[in-house]
Amino acid sequence: MAQPALGVLLKTLRDERRLSLREVAQLAEIDHAYIYRLETGEKEAPSEDVLTKLIRVLKPPRREADMLRYLADHRDTDAALVTRVLDDPTVSFQIFAAVAGAAFRGTARPDYGKLIERTRRILNEEDDSE
């Protein structure tokens, strides 16, 4: 099973803080096995209480905290998009959410770089017209 988007983000944030599963679990007062299941996709929908505890311990920037909450409610988000957004700090949460919510037709994998730029242009046009 491929790692889910929520799992990718959680593991990235945990690795950035250089914390083990057990350390995060102890600090957040959550079972380490549950955190592991979130990272691997065995569990997909953490409660708001669990998310709040994880955010408190992992101390992510606002964008990543918003992404965690979004991904908890949108389990079908592609992990490749999360990876792409994490690699580009200029992508706002608003752009991430817009691209994540786009519907795709066919079987071709979307080019997230192009979608992000297109979304950025559209949002900038909307800002300019106001």
Q: pLDDT (tens digit, 0 to 9) for every residue of the chain, 130 residues total?
A: 578 999 999 999 999 999 999 999 999 999 999 999 999 989 888 999 999 999 999 999 999 999 999 999 998 899 999 999 999 999 999 999 999 988 666 677 788 999 999 999 988 876 666 5
Q: Domain containing 64: what range?
A: 5-129
Number of separate domains in the chain:
1
The CATH number assigned to the domain holding 54 equals: 1.10.260.40
Contact (CB, 8 A) for 25 and 35: yes
Q: Which residues, 6+ apart, have CB-to-CB distance to 38 below 8 Å?
A: 6, 7, 10, 44, 46
- Rounded Cα distance, 72 and 38, in Å: 10
pLDDT number for residue 111: 87
Helices and strands in the chain: count of H runs, count of E runs: 8, 0
